[in-house]
Structure formats: structure tokens, C-alpha cells
Copies of this chain bind each other. A is one copy, B any other.
Amino acid sequence: MRKAVVLLSGGIDSSTALAIADDMGYEIHALTILYGQRHEREVESAKKVASAFNVEEHRIMKLPEGLFSASALTYDEDVPVDGDLERYGIPSTYVPARNLVFLSIAVSWAEAMDADAVFIGVTSVDYSGYPDCRGEFIEAFREASALATRRGVEGNPVEILTPLIDLSKGDIIRRGIELGLDYSLTWSCYKGGERACGRCDSCRYRLKGFRDAGIDDPLEYEDDADGTVHK
């Protein structure tokens, strides 16, 4: 059985990527990387998703504090979580070179256990504004990682698979539901409260995705004092 490392944050995209890897018949070694992000609640979601798909192994790896900095998502409490979905440029939630680091770690693990592939749930549609989610980054990373590894030298590099790259958020959700993924297990909100805030970029992308898919998001969202539900 072919093995794959699946980068799993517990959000919609990575959970759907895992469902697709499962559907493709891979033995799944899920990898959740903690780096001081505020939404540790995502980790609980990652565990539930991994468990729902009976993965072979779910490795939760805590990176040293301060490995990532200068982002609203990490230990830097001073950088605010940006709520402006429409803003041009790169959001404050950008973590410098995060996917470069995550993919490098995943490839190292894949090579060590002789896995054939690494899955990452990046999408270039409904694009987050993070440079390291773009297809052109992934393409360059494939080249670099093939040259960095024994398997690449032997002509059989670890594949970097991005099954969501051309899917909209709505398409992703429809695909996950076809594959039996229960999205009530996933978590997207950057704020990590009891209920999702409905206002941060990540909630807004998620809600737009469910609207586009014509499906009701099974998560609960915060109400405002005036009774507005942000959903």
C-alpha cells in the first residue's frame, strides 16, 4: 500500500485533502504542525478528522516557540488578525514562509519512511493572498525538494500533491461531502473561541464556500448582542 504524508490543520482544505488521499487509496500519515497559532482548537478538529478516516498515524509536532514570528497567527500578540477579506496584498495572518517550512518537514518525513507522496490542501481559487499557497510556489518547491533528496537523485522524488489547487471553496466542500467528510469536525476561525466568529478572513472564506456549495455550515457561529448571527 502506498503511503502518503498529509498536512492536516483541521480546517476545511486540509481535511478535504485528507479525504481525497484516503479515496485515492493511500495509507495516511497525517501531520499536524503546531507553531503557537492562536487557534489551538483547530488541533482538536485535526484529531477528529484523522480519527474519522482511520488514518494509520497522526503525528502532532510542536515547533519551537519563535520559529515563526511577525504574524497575527503566531506568538506575536501585537499583530492584529486582519478581517478585511477584500484587501489587496498579503493579509496580516501571513506567516513568513510557513508552507515552505511545512512542506520541507513533510518531505523529510516522507523520505525517511519511504512514503510516495505529500498532500497539501492549498488552493489558488478563492485565494487567501498568501504567496506560499500559489501553484507557482508549489511547482518551484517540487523542483527544490526533488533536488534535496535521495529519492530525487534516484529519479523517484516524493510527489507533492495539491488536489484542491483548481477548486473553489464551494467545489472543495461539495467534494468533501461526496467523500463522507463531516465538516462539523473541522474548524476554520482564526480566533479560536467557543463558537466561530464569522468575521475573520478564514470564517468569511468558509461561509462563502458553504453558500457557493448551497450547503448549510454545520458549525455554530457567534451572535452579536443585537441578535445578528454571523453566518
Q: Is the CB of B108 within 8 A of A97?
A: yes
In whole Å, how far is A133's beta carbon from the nearest beta carbon of chain B?
9
Q: Is the CB of B61 within 8 A of A100?
A: no
Determine if A107 is an interface residue (Cβ-Cβ < 8 Å): yes
Determine if A134 is an interface residue (Cβ-Cβ < 8 Å): yes
User: Which chain B residues border A137 with CB–CB below 8 Å?
Assistant: 144, 147-148
A window 58-88: CB within 8 A of B = 61-64, 66-71
In whole Å, how far is A114's beta carbon from the nearest beta carbon of chain B?
9
Determine if A150 is an interface residue (Cβ-Cβ < 8 Å): yes
Q: CA separation between A141 and B134, bound complex, in Å?
A: 16
Q: CA separation between A181 and B62, bound complex, in Å?
A: 36
User: Which chain B residues border A153 with CB–CB below 8 Å?
Assistant: 90, 131
Q: CA separation between A110 and B144, bound complex, in Å?
A: 19
Q: Is the CB of A68 within 8 A of B131?
A: no
Determine if A94 is an interface residue (Cβ-Cβ < 8 Å): yes
Among A71, A97, A136: residue with most chain B CB under 10 A: A97
Interface residues of A (CB under 8 A from B): 61-64, 66-71, 90, 94-101, 104-105, 107-109, 111-113, 131-132, 134, 136-137, 140-141, 143-145, 147-150, 152-153
